[in-house]
Structure 1
Amino acid sequence: MALVEINFDGLVGPSHNYAGLSLGNLASASHGGDPSYPRAAALQGLDKMRHNLSLGLVQGWFAPLPRPNQGFLDSLGLTQPADSAEIRLRAAAWSASSMWTANAATVSPAPDTADGRCHLTAANLVTMPHRSQEWPDTVRQLRLAFADAAHFAVHDAVPACFGDEGAANHMRMAPRHDAPGLELFVYGRPGGPFPARQHEQAGRAVARLHGLDPARALFVEQSAEAIAAGAFHNDVVAVANERVLFTHEQAFADPDGTYAAIRAALPEAEIVIVPASAVSLAEAIRSYLFNAQLLTLGDGAMGLVIPTEAWEMPSVRGWLDTMLASNGPIRRVLPVDVRQSMANGGGPACLRLRVVADPATVDPRFLLDAARIDLLAGVVAQTWPEQIDPVDIGRASLAESVRTARAALLDTAGLRELA
């Protein structure tokens, strides 16, 4: 069985809008109430998937979840037109936030688990109302994509009393993707102006469910400074791939202890630290330098897929140029345009869930080639709304067009089971 890393990107849904629902996510808050452009957003995401394919990587996708979520509205008794106090609750039922599949689940590849299967546990996302409603539909999709029980185990979310935000707070390091690795579960502690979304016990529960060797599961506290600065997930300040950890100096509460524990478990680890003197925490969060895809390319070198916003920031660009000149483990920097996602608080890393598996064991409807991307792009171009203004949220005519667009996508992709 040939195990490779597959990046599953979430397709931006037709209800993509800027409601500013995510407390602690500075980009989301700053664009709350702006017009959104769902068609452009989805096409940008598909272009990013094309870009990864062009690098010789295996690329997957997930369909947007059903929105507006009428069951969520009914459970809140919101059957009448909304007054001002209900606008945010109604907007939560329209959120297209499942596009950020880094929050869909936590994934442990087969080489790490006791039963030799790849395990996926859906994230409960309990901290934010617009996200907490996602996981049952996410599980349905995961169980369809990874239905081969000989190779995969898909778990329901851990109990909601323990906040779990999925792979955005989880990193894996290994000599190779197909070798046993070290899994890092990053958690936060309450305090400061913003909530710590990841509970330590959620990570420990996932590690047990996945059958991980306790000696190869590391639980790391995120720094309070990072959370207060707007690093609502660890993947805003750190990302790992195979033997390399790429991190901001202020990402962890105990950086020296964290690095020592990584090196003890994985002697070949290379840790690339960006000092605050070169790129401040605020600049790192504003540019989403670390919300990047750190990938092993076809020639074995590592590339960093970053948002164009990071490439355009002078301090970040200067540091990246210095890094490339140093001949370190990261050899290429690859900017991509995901501005519509960035404006709502998610960069390239937010848009993907990493799964190490044999592609032959995955439902082929969730794997992409250039022709299939073109097919999806055609549906988006024909059916996704061009623009959504804040006053449109809740309108019956828009709800109908959003449902019609998603139904057309599912028909084209052969995924009517998700209707």
Structure 2
Amino acid sequence: MKSYEVNFDGLVGPTHNYGGLSYGNVASQSNSQQSSNPKEAALQGLAKMKALMEMGFQQGVLAPQERPDVAALRRLGFSGTDAQVIERAAKEAMPLLVASCSASSMWVANAATVSPSADTADGRVHFTAANLNCKYHRSIEHPTTSRVLGAMFANQQHFAHHAALPAVAQFGDEGAANHTRFCREYGEAGVEFFVFGRSAFDNRFPAPQKYPARQTLEASQAVARLHGLRDEGVVYAQQNPNVIDQGVFHNDVIAVGNAEVLFYHEDAFLETDQMLAELQSKLAKVGGNFQSVCVPRSAVTVDDAVRSYLFNSQLLSRPDGSMLLIVPQECQANERVWAYLQSLTSSGGLIREVKVFDLKQSMQNGGGPACLRLRVALNETELAAVNPGVIMTPPLYGSLTAWVEKHYRDRLSETDLADPQLLLECRTALDELTQILKLGAVYPFQIN
């Protein structure tokens, strides 16, 4: 039976703005308060989805969230009609309104952790929505994320869904941004690689001093248990706390893996040699041949990696066995990074080609190509059981492009977030989107 890695890209929401909400994310903080262009952001994301579809890769789409989140503001004490809640929040606590308007759900690498059926005890694909409790604006996402994933992967014979972990610091979970799976074939048993920034209960693990470590070891272990993963099919590794303090807030900012290959920076991890040996040993037991590509700090500094998002790229397997790297335009603009990529692809190694995409709207808020996609390994039967409305096709691309052109603003500033009309525009757009994607009622305004 054939198997595939399907990339489900997050559709950028109508309230895409530069709120500077993510402490530890250099791009998010440095572009705070600039005006954004939601329409351009959504179209840039759709262009990447279309391009990968046309290259022959399986591509899907994951819907954005309702914003502003009026229910979240009500829980914080704002009352009245929806318009009055927004007006009061803008007047009394603008940072809370900005947080409630965040379109950060576009970065669906943080939506959930996914384990394929070949790895799990019950032979189903397992999803655990990430609690994202390190940042308030992201911590409010998981209830809708769970409903959307449930509508996309609804067949209980093939798919299992778990609620987010307890929303406390000890179980901080950032989803697939800190999770990679290695395998020989997507439909065969593999090794799931969980990267954590700190331990909540074991002080033997060092922690960063400047920026928070968002993923805990305990959260990763809990997800592995929920998914029924075998001990011999799991490897845990700690992110280097020094690179977290340099702006590497997730592992996918400093490393990316696919199939049997890990592409990583020399300074990405602690105990790197031990980690690589464990990955090699465990993958060999299921017939795989683990390989790694280390980018030396002498060629690309951590600062270069953070500013260019070299590692926040998509590493994709091609039919001939070689690999393609999808990178943001910022990599081409960085002289050292681009020189490294040119030498990498000309060396005849594992990564043979680099394709560049303009994702400036997302990049300026701290998310690159890898942030925008959630990877789900599926066999033919499971793929057939996915809601067909979310699988990218030429007609769906056309419908979504027209939908964005119809509903999205081409400029959004902080003051615009206080306009109650924005909420009405967002709800109108999302109601139409659920019909396009055949999701049913997944948003609070559709349910309540």
Q: Normalising by structure 2, what TM-score?
A: 0.91
Give the equivalent residue in structure 2 for 1:175: 184
Give the equivalent residue in structure 1 for 2:127: 120
Give the equivalent residue in structure 2 for 1:87: 94
Give the equivalent residue in structure 2 for 1:142: 149
Does 2:126 correspond to 1:105? Answer: no
Following TM superposition, by how much is the alpha carbon of 1:87 offset from its aligned partner in structure 2, in angstroms? Answer: 1.5
Does 2:360 correspond to 1:343? Answer: no
Following TM superposition, by how much is the alpha carbon of 1:195 offset from its aligned partner in structure 2, in angstroms? Answer: 0.4
Determine the C-alpha separation between the residues in 2 that align with 1:380 and 1:138. 21
Secondary structure in structure 1 of the residue aligned to 2:51: helix
Aligned-residue Cα RMSD (Å) equals 1.3
Q: How does 1:3-402 map to 2 (within 5 A)?
A: 3-78=3-78, 79=85, 80-82=87-89, 86-161=93-168, 162-189=171-198, 190-267=207-284, 268-357=289-378, 358=380, 359-402=383-426
Q: Would the aligned equivalents of 1:55 and 1:297 in 2 still touch at CA under 8 Å? A: no
Determine the C-alpha separation between the residues in 2 that align with 1:101 and 1:154. 16
Secondary structure in structure 1 of the residue aligned to 2:46: helix
Determine the C-alpha separation between the residues in 2 that align with 1:88 and 1:299. 50
The alpha-carbon distance between structure 1 residues 111 and 416, as it changes in their structure 2 partners (threshold 3 A), is: closer
Secondary structure in structure 2 of the residue aligned to 1:266: helix
Secondary structure in structure 1 of the residue aligned to 2:192: strand
Following TM superposition, by how much is the alpha carbon of 1:85 offset from its aligned partner in structure 2, in angstroms? Answer: 6.5
Q: Could you list the runs of 5+ residues in structure 2 that have no partner in the other structure? A: 79-84, 199-206, 444-448
Secondary structure in structure 2 of the residue aligned to 1:111: coil
Amino acid at match of 2:35: P
Q: Which runs of 4+ in 1 moved over 4 A?
A: none
Secondary structure in structure 1 of the residue aligned to 2:423: helix
Amino acid at match of 1:206: V
Following TM superposition, by how much is the alpha carbon of 1:416 offset from its aligned partner in structure 2, in angstroms? Answer: 3.9
Q: Between 399-408 and 51-60, report the one with greater CA deviation.
A: 399-408
Give the equivalent residue in structure 1 for 2:446: none
Q: Between 123-132 and 323-332, report the one with greater CA deviation.
A: 323-332
Secondary structure in structure 2 of the residue aligned to 1:393: helix
Q: Between 307-316 and 347-356, report the one with greater CA deviation.
A: 307-316
Amino acid at match of 1:392: D
Following TM superposition, by how much is the alpha carbon of 1:84 offset from its aligned partner in structure 2, in angstroms? Answer: 7.0
Secondary structure in structure 2 of the residue aligned to 1:377: helix
Amino acid at match of 1:30: S
Following TM superposition, by how much is the alpha carbon of 1:411 offset from its aligned partner in structure 2, in angstroms? Answer: 3.1
Give the equivalent residue in structure 1 for 2:427: 403
Aligned counterpart for 1:413 among listed residues 430, 433, 437: 437
Q: Would the aligned equivalents of 2:98 and 2:414 in 1 still touch at CA under 8 Å? A: no
Secondary structure in structure 1 of the residue aligned to 2:8: strand
Q: Would the aligned equivalents of 1:56 and 1:297 in 2 still touch at CA under 8 Å? A: no
Determine the C-alpha separation between the residues in 2 that align with 1:356 and 1:70. 35
Kindly tell me the number of residue pairs found equivalent between the two proteins: 419
What is the CA deviation profile of residues 265-317 of structure 1, one whole-angstrom value per residue up to 9, with x for unaligned ones? 12411100000000000000110000000011244321010101112211011
Determine the C-alpha separation between the residues in 1 that align with 2:97 and 2:333. 36
Following TM superposition, by how much is the alpha carbon of 1:152 offset from its aligned partner in structure 2, in angstroms? Answer: 0.9
Amino acid at match of 1:390: E
Determine the C-alpha separation between the residues in 2 that align with 1:54 and 1:287. 26
Q: Would the aligned equivalents of 1:168 and 1:350 in 2 still touch at CA under 8 Å? A: yes
What is the CA deviation profile of residues 47-95 of structure 1, one whole-angstrom value per residue up to 9, with x for unaligned ones? 0001111110010111111111111000001335236762111111111
What is the CA deviation profile of residues 130-163 of structure 1, one whole-angstrom value per residue up to 9, with x for unaligned ones? 0000001000011111111111101111112210
Determine the C-alpha separation between the residues in 2 that align with 1:142 and 1:405. 19
Amino acid at match of 1:92: A
Q: Would the aligned equivalents of 2:389 and 2:436 in 1 still touch at CA under 8 Å? A: no
Q: Would the aligned equivalents of 2:148 and 2:439 in 1 still touch at CA under 8 Å? A: no
Determine the C-alpha separation between the residues in 1 that align with 2:125 and 2:426. 34
Q: Would the aligned equivalents of 2:183 and 2:190 in 1 still touch at CA under 8 Å? A: yes
What is the CA deviation profile of residues 5-52 of structure 1, one whole-angstrom value per residue up to 9, with x for unaligned ones? 100001000010000000100000011100000000000000000111
What is the CA deviation profile of residues 338-373 of structure 1, one whole-angstrom value per residue up to 9, with x for unaligned ones? 110000000000000000113202110111111111
The alpha-carbon distance between structure 1 residues 47 and 83, as it changes in their structure 2 partners (threshold 3 A), is: closer
Q: Would the aligned equivalents of 1:307 and 1:335 in 2 still touch at CA under 8 Å? A: yes
Secondary structure in structure 2 of the residue aligned to 1:240: strand
Following TM superposition, by how much is the alpha carbon of 1:255 offset from its aligned partner in structure 2, in angstroms? Answer: 1.3
Amino acid at match of 1:387: R
Q: Would the aligned equivalents of 1:57 and 1:298 in 2 still touch at CA under 8 Å? A: no
Q: Would the aligned equivalents of 2:11 and 2:62 in 1 still touch at CA under 8 Å? A: yes
Q: Could you list the runs of 5+ residues in structure 1 that have no partner in the other structure? A: none
Q: Would the aligned equivalents of 2:152 and 2:439 in 1 still touch at CA under 8 Å? A: no
